[in-house]
Amino acid sequence: TTKAKDELRSAYIYLYNVDGYNSIANDQNNQRTSTIEKEISESGTYFIRVQNSGFGEYSLSVSFSGSSD
């Protein structure tokens, strides 16, 4: 989840798979808060990209939940 601060008009967030090139989820809703929820079955390294419209600070929070296997 990204949360834009005062001057930032909107925040966009993208989740890329292990190759770092293919976006597997995104939120481009033109709002100040963007959220991605994605179930991922393959372990590995994933990449998050945050892009803005306007300027200013944002906060980023990430949470994970493990499988019950």
Q: What is the mean pLDDT of each run of 10 residues along the chain (69 residues)?
A: 60 84 81 79 85 74 71
Supply the pLDDT for residue 59.
77
Supply the pLDDT for residue 65.
76
CA atoms within 13 A on the CB side of 4: 21
Pairing of strands 47-54, 2-4: unpaired
Phi-psi region of 47 (alpha: psi -120 to 50; beta: other; left: phi over 0): beta
